Copies of this chain bind each other. A is one copy, B any other.
Amino acid sequence: MTNAILASTSTLHGQGYLEYLLPVIEELYWNTSEIIFIPFARPGGITHNEYTTKAAEAFQKVNKKLKGIHEYSSPVEALRNTGGIFTGGGNTFLLVSELYRNNLMLPLRESISRGAAYLGTSAGTNIGGLTMQTTNDMPIVYPPGFKTLGIVPFNINPHYLDPDNSSTHKGETRETRIREFHSINSQPVVGLREGSWLQVKDNKISLKGSLSARIFKKDKVPFEIDAETDISDLN
C-alpha cells in the first residue's frame, strides 16, 4: 500500500521552494496533518533546524505541519506512527550516511511499506530507488553502503540533463555516466527531468508532470516515455 511521490527537483526555475508541487503535496498528505521532515542531506551545509524551517514554511501554505526528525526523542517510534514523511534534497552521500548512522534506513522503509505517505525531492528521490548509485552528487562522506529504500524496483537519476551538443567540455555527459553504471549494474535507470515526478500508488508507478522521461536499460538503446506512462513493470 505504498503511497509515494518521487520528484526530480524541489524547485523550478523562477519559482519558490516546492511551489510547483504544492497541489501534489496537498493530495499526497490528504489524511495526515503532521509530517516528519528528514533534513539530513543538508544542502549547502545549512543546519537541520534551518532546513526544517524552510520546508515547514512551504508546507504551511497547504496547512500541513512539518517537524524535523531530529526533534523527536525517538525517531524510530515517530516513523512507526506517522502518516507522512518528506525527505528534502541536498547531498545524497550525506543523506544515506546519516540514515544508516542513525539506524533509520530500515524503519523508514517499513514506515513507507506500511502506507505512510512519502515525498522525496532530488536526494530524497534518489534514495527511493534500489541504490543511490545514479546520484549526481559528490562523495563528500563515505556511507556504509549504497543500498537505499527501493520504493521502486529500479534506480533514479534526478535532475536528468540532456547532452548539450554545442558543448566543447570533455567531461562525461549524464548519458555516458549512466552507461558506465550499466557496465557493472543491471537495474534500469529512470532519467527524471526537472518538473517531472514518479507517483507510486499501491503497485502502480506512473510518470507525472508535463515532460517525457528517459529510460536506460543495460545493453539497450535509451528511450523516452511520455507523461502518464505506467512503468510498474520496469525492473
Contacts and interface: CB of A to CB of B under 8 A. Distances in A.
B184 A138 contact: no
Interface in A149-183: 158-159, 161, 168-172, 176-183
Contacts of A145: 142
A133 interface: yes
Interface stretch (A5-13, A58-66, A203-211, A220-228): A5-13
Nearest to A13: B168
Contact of A169 (B43, B159, B177): B159
A52 interface: no
Nearest to A167: B13
B139 A135 contact: yes
A185 interface: yes
Contacts of A177: 137-138
Contacts of A132: 139
B134 A138 contact: yes
Q: Please give the count of copies of this chain that the complex contains.
A: 2
Contacts of A10: 170
Contacts of A180: 43-45, 90-91, 94, 137-138, 140
Contacts of A142: 145-146
B139 A133 contact: yes
Contacts of A113: none
A36 to B, nearest CB: 23
Interface in A48-93: 90-91, 93
A136 interface: yes
A141 interface: yes
Contacts of A217: none
Interface string A179-194: 1111111000000001
A11 B168 CA distance: 11
Contacts of A141: 133, 184
Given A13-B168, A45-B180, A138-B181, 12 more contacts: A43-B180, A44-B179, A44-B183, A45-B183, A133-B139, A136-B138, A137-B180, A138-B180, A139-B146, A140-B181, A161-B171, A170-B194
Among all A-B residue pairs, the 3 with the closest Cβ atoms:
A45-B183, A159-B171, A13-B168
